Amino acid sequence: MKKFLAVTLASVAILGTSLPVKAQKWEGLAPTPPMGWSSWNCFGLNLDEEKIRGIADAMVENGLLDAGYTYVNLDDAWQNDTRDENGNILPDPQKFPSGMKALSDYIHDKGLKFGVYSDVGCMTCGGHLGSLGHEYQDALQYARWGVDYLKYDWCNNDGLTPKGAYKLMSEALKATGRPILFSMCEWGNSEPWTWAQDVAHMWRTTNDIHAKFDSYKHYGTWGTSGILQLLDRNVHLRSYAGPDHWNDADMLEVGNGMSVNEDRAHFSMWCMLASPLILGNDIRNMSQETKDIILNKEVIAVDQDPLGHQALRYLTDSGIEYWFKPLVNDEWAFCILNRTLEPREITLDWKEFDFEDLTFHRKTDLGSKVYKIRDLWKHKDDGTTEKNRTITVPGHDVVMYRLSAK
């Protein structure tokens, strides 16, 4: 036995530093894409405990918790400008006079979960304290507060390597002994989908979203992207996502100023992408149209499908896109997206969609097999794939079906 151990240790020593340092995140926290709400898209830097408690109340009262939205997340600007005498991070006492534990308890008492935000650098993107040099200490503080989710940003990273910085925080969270979901936010710079499966439960794939359907806005070296721009950046990442490791197309902008058609298309496409669904609107004051979108359980079920497969953009023709997402029980979500502003009449010839999805080894068999069609926005059964059909897809909108065996 001793001899065997000596040999083993020797081979480890010979392999030396090339042995991979594998961070082990807390497994199993995100079997389906995480769902919740975050403060950034509607409150920006102006958040406080009264607003957050109001959001938690509204999550329950509006049936969002029942629909699966679980996390209430503080984004940037909850932090005090200085740490305490022992180096512990604290909340801004003006904004959070009752303290984080009290807020966390309030959220948990409603059956919701609590998330916070930090940054790999000494400063966040909004100029507040980050975690550099305090990673284990901050993780412990979060655990004491009862935090369930950490979003970890990439501003002021000062030459750090993403792999090292994110592994460090992943391990710090794991070491607390509390299950805390880890959401990486380094904007896809280092292609985290290629290396972060053991480190995080989700990773942002791009720069920030803004509430425009089709535009990119430059701010010097930085920019914000519209729905179509983000969609295009996620198309080629489908083989990297799955249960417990999701491509995050960014927080939702439904209810933040786009048209109802655009909001519906945005929500549908995030569900087709199996992206986390983190709401970004003020859910204390929502229109009926916004509620109908974010509470559409049939569309949410496409996002939350247990297989966790991201959709394939199968065909693009003059601004119309045909997307297929493999679902459990040999079903498919089929979404037709109109990228143009004009309503478009199209004829669906089902045989044209007879193909094999080689990433996930699934055939549609639409040339030979007949499926029942469920219209997920009209909430009604809508015939079968036996015959071709002509439909109209409004501008900047979708038609979304679930196809199941007849």
The residues of the shown chain that bind ligand GLA, judged by CB under 6 A, are 40, 75-76, 124-126, 153, 185, 208
CB 128, CB 47: distance < 8 Å: no
Residue 267: phi and psi, rounded to 5, are -65, -45
Q: How far is it, in rounded angstroms, from Cα 230 to Cα 128?
A: 27
Distances (CA, A) of 38 to 82, 147, 257, 293, 339: 24, 14, 17, 17, 27
Q: How far is the CB of 234 from ligand GLA (least distance, A)?
A: 15
Which of 75, 153, 305, 397 does the annotation list as catalytic?
Answer: 153
Question: If we measure between CA atoms, which residue out of 217, 213, 206 comes closest to residue 339?
Answer: 213
Answer for the pair 386, 380: CB distance below 8 angstroms, yes or no. no
Q: What is the largest distance, in Å, between two alpha-carbon atoms of the chain? A: 76
What is the layout of strands, in order, in the sheet containing 208-209?
Answer: 208-209, 222-225, 216-219
Nearer to ligand GLA, 154 or 332 (CB): 154
Shortest reach from residue 222's CB to ligand GLA, in Å: 8
Shortest distance, CB of residue 129 to ligand GLA, whole angstroms? 12
Q: Which is nearer to ligand GLA, 126 or 395 (CB)?
A: 126
Shortest distance (Å) from residue 398 CB to ligand GLA? 25
Q: Is 305 a catalytic residue?
A: no
Contact 210, 224 (CB under 8 A): yes
- Helices (runs of H) and strands (runs of E) counted in the chain: 11, 21
Closer residue to ligand GLA (CB): 244 or 253: 253
Angle at 63 between CA 62 and CA 64, to 5 degrees: 95
Choice between 151 and 339, CB closer to ligand GLA: 151
Which residues are registered as beta bridge partners of 203? 184, 247
Among candidates 286, 283, 251, 279, which has minimal Cα distance to 58?
283
Kindly state the smallest distance separating residue 348's Cβ from ligand GLA, in Å.
38
Give the helix ranges, DSSP H, for 273-381.
Answer: 288-294, 297-303
Identity of the residue, 104 or 124, whose beta carbon is nearer to ligand GLA in the bound complex? 124
The CB-of-116 to ligand GLA minimum distance in angstroms stands at: 11
Our CB check for ligand GLA shows the closer of 155 and 168 to be 155
Residue tagged active-site, from 208, 244, 282, 357: 208
375 flagged as catalytic: no
> Residue 136: what residue type?
Y
Active-site annotation, residues? 153, 208
